[in-house]
């Protein structure tokens, strides 16, 4: 159960980060607090959109989905449900693959790293690891 709690907490933080980047992208935030990173450069590149939709919005949807599934998985009647675990792992794997793609673009095409994207990548990786481990060792009983 502690793993699902961790997934929920991480998904919430990821949702906040993705929302922050999305709000910037649609012009609701003046600038990104990025320190020495290249957030604005990455966010204004052509890779910051996919099919005309800001990449950050995919993050908002993905993290919201993970958050909703994680919260459902914490309910006593779903705690031992393997389907919830499988759905979590599937969504997390898709998110992790997307994260790998975006990180590769940053490293090998743009040669610039956006700190918030790195934070999101770390969160998504952690969620993916936790969901895969949870798939192999599902919570037996809700306490």
Partner 1 sequence: MKRFYMLLVAVAVIGGGALWYGSQRPAAPPAPSAPLPVAAAEAFHGYTLGSDSAPIEVTEYSDFECPFCASFATVQMPVIREQLIATGKLRWRFRDFPLPSHKYSRYAAMAAQCAGEQGKFWEMHDQLFNNHQWAQTGKNPRSLFRDFGRAIGLDLDKYDACMDGQRYAARLEASVQEGEALGVRGTPSFFVNGRPYTGRGTSDDFKALADSLTKKHK
Binding footprint of partner 1 on the chain (CB under 8 A): 5, 8-9, 12-13, 16, 19-20, 23, 25, 27-31, 33, 36, 40-41, 43-48, 74, 109-112, 143
The nearer residue to partner 1, 46 or 136, going by C-beta atoms, is 46
Report CA 89 to chain centroid distance, whole Å.
Answer: 13
Q: How far is the CB of 116 from partner 1 (least distance, A)?
A: 12
Q: How far is the CB of 73 from partner 1 (least distance, A)?
A: 13
Apex CA 84: angle with CA 19 and CA 57, to 5°? 15
The nearer residue to partner 1, 16 or 90, going by C-beta atoms, is 16
- DSSP SS3 for 113: coil
| Widest distance between CA atoms in the chain | 48
Q: Does residue 125 contact residue 113 with C-beta atoms inside 8 Å?
A: no
The nearer residue to partner 1, 19 or 93, going by C-beta atoms, is 19
């Amino acid at each position: 159960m502690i793993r699902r709690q961790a997934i929920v907490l991480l998904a919430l933080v990821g949702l906040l980060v993705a929302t922050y980047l999305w709000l910037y992208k649609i012009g609701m935030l003046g600038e990104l607090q990025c320190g020495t990173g290249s957030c604005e450069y990455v966010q204004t590149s052509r890779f910051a959109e996919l099919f005309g939709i800001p990449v950050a919005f995919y993050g908002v949807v993905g993290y919201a989905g993970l958050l909703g599934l994680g919260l459902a998985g914490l309910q006593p009647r779903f705690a031992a449900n393997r389907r919830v675990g499988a759905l979590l792992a599937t969504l997390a794997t898709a998110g992790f693959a997307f994260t790998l793609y975006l990180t590769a673009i940053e490293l090998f095409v743009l040669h610039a790293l956006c700190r918030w994207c790195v934070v999101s990548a770390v969160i998504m990786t952690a969620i993916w690891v936790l969901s895969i481990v949870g798939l192999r060792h599902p919570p037996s009983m809700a306490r």
